[in-house]
Structure 1
């Protein structure tokens, strides 16, 4: 099948980019002709090495830029002879919708950031992929028909993007608690800082490592500096590969307030971390509803602190949850994601093929 993916860019800092790049490479490995239309970025070299073509489409949100982008995209769709177009963000979906209508090509959209109001526009797709059951339910509540919705749970294990990663654990002080993600309010970091301040009273040797960057890093560092645990918190900033830190961590914590289906949990579970996550969006599904990781209420530092303390108090429990993290780990592979996505494509293409045969 000839598949054209559309996304804003291919820079490293966005989870939806990681998901799209992983999928495109997996589809190319299965023998499909795959191309990505975007503003370009860090992953272009990897895509080329895996047989995925790239073309430039500027997604800047201005009327002149978007008009030019629509013309470019129309040309790329026609030149590539796409059988299906797959849009990964709102701007991409809006650009692709009229082009696909005119060309009578199915448009598949994936809802990566369901927490954004604009996510409703992803309903423009012939078929709409939700990255978790929770996202699927939310999109139905927004009026998107269940008949066009398909849930394909995120997973990244085995992806081309992770082939060159380092398998040697980083040097972390133990007992260590690790967070990996963007430093912005949606990730709930203030809850983790206040929880760790409680933990530090009983376990002064414990250390919290924060991997990631973002617009709130300065305010978060200032917040931590006022806490008693300040010297036991290290901000490591953005790293090219957080996997060695996951291999070394005793406990991985994701305290999100909203998170449709975070890829970082696939990696944390692959690294056999003892995982604690909040009961929001796709996190429970990615943790097998509490069987592969501990679930706590969001926005509740006391509950989070209790969960961390329970593990630190009984090291055998950390080992037990490391083992539990491997429950149905095969369900988080990119191979499974690619296979299920192809079924969505076939469902989208089938009506068109039937009409063509009838003619």
Structure 2
């Protein structure tokens, strides 16, 4: 099959980019011819090394750029005789929709960030992929018919991005608590800072490591500096590979307020951390609804502190939850994601598949 992915860019800072790059490389390994149309970015060399052909398509929301994008996509679909177009963000879907309709090529859309109002436009696809059950339910409430909607849970284990990564754990001081994510409100880091302050009063040897960057980094650093536990909080900053930090951590915490299906959870589970996540969006599903990780209410630092103390007070309990992180870990492989996605493509290519013009 000849597959064309359309993406705003291939820079590292967005989780949906990681998911699309992982998928494209995995599809090549399964024997398909795969193209990536975007404005380019950090992952272009990785895509090339894995046999994914890159095509430059502008995505700026200005009429001259959009016209160039429409023309470029139209030419690429014809030149490479593409069987399926897969759009991963709203701008990509809007650009691809009229071209796919004109050429009679199925358009697949993946909803990565359903909390954005513009996610409704992803219903333009012949088939719509949701990255978790909660995202699927949200898209149905927005008017996408169940018959054109398919849930393909995110997973990243075995991805090409992980090839050659360091397997040497970072020497974190134990007991270590780790956060990896963007430093912006949706990820809930202030809740973790408040919870750690409470935990630290009982477990003064505990350490908190924060890996990531974002617009609120300085604000969060100032907030942490004002805490009594400040000397045991480390802001690592941005890194191209957080996995060694996961290998070195005892507990991984993701206190998000909204998170459709964060890839970081499959990586933390693969690394063997005991995982604590907030019970929002796709997090419970990625933690097997409490069988592979512990769940706490979102926006509740007190509950998070109680859970961390629950783990720290008994080393055997912490060890038990590290082992539980491996429960059904094989379900989080990129190969499973690729095969389920190909099933969606085949459904969309079937003669009975709904036309894009009928999209909700």
Whether TM exceeds 0.5 here: the answer is: yes
User: Aligned partners of 2:243, 2:334: CA distance in 1, in Å?
Assistant: 17
Residue 242 of structure 2 corresponds to residue 239 of structure 1:
no
User: Aligned partners of 2:123, 2:353: CA distance in 1, in Å?
Assistant: 22
Unaligned runs of 5+ in 2: 356-360
User: Aligned partners of 2:353, 2:88: CA distance in 1, in Å?
Assistant: 24
User: Aligned partners of 1:229, 1:80: CA distance in 2, in Å?
Assistant: 58
Output aligned runs, 1:212-223, within 5 Å: 212-223=212-223
User: Aligned partners of 1:286, 1:231: CA distance in 2, in Å?
Assistant: 33
Output aligned runs, 1:172-211, within 5 Å: 172-211=172-211
Give CA deviations for 1:118-175 in whole Å, capped at 9, x if unaligned.
0000000000000000100011011111110000000000011101110010011111
* Counterpart for residue 30 of structure 1: 30
Q: Residue 354 of structure 1: CA displacement?
A: 12
User: Aligned partners of 2:214, 2:59: CA distance in 1, in Å?
Assistant: 22
Give CA deviations for 1:84-111 in whole Å, capped at 9, x if unaligned.
0000000000000000000000000000
Aligned-partner SS, 1:215:
coil
User: Aligned partners of 1:67, 1:222: CA distance in 2, in Å?
Assistant: 45
Contact 2:278 2:296 in 1 (8 A): yes
Q: Residue 268 of structure 1: CA displacement?
A: 0.3
* Counterpart for residue 129 of structure 2: 129
Unaligned runs of 5+ in 1: none
The worse-fitting range, judged by mean Cα deviation, of 335-344 and 65-74 is 65-74
Q: Residue 353 of structure 1: CA displacement?
A: 9.2
* Counterpart for residue 358 of structure 2: none
* Counterpart for residue 313 of structure 2: 313
* Counterpart for residue 255 of structure 1: 255
Q: Residue 352 of structure 1: CA displacement?
A: 6.8
Would you say how many aligned residue pairs link Structure 1 and Structure 2? Answer: 355
* Counterpart for residue 143 of structure 2: 143
Q: CA 1:144–1:354 in structure 2 vs 1: closer, same or farther (change >3 Å)?
A: closer
* Counterpart for residue 283 of structure 1: 283
TM-score by length of 2: 0.97
* Counterpart for residue 12 of structure 1: 12
Contact 2:177 2:249 in 1 (8 A): yes
* Counterpart for residue 155 of structure 1: 155
* Counterpart for residue 57 of structure 2: 57
* Counterpart for residue 266 of structure 1: 266
Aligned-partner SS, 1:147:
helix
User: Which consecutive segments of 4 or more residues in structure 1 shift more than 3 A?
Assistant: 352-355
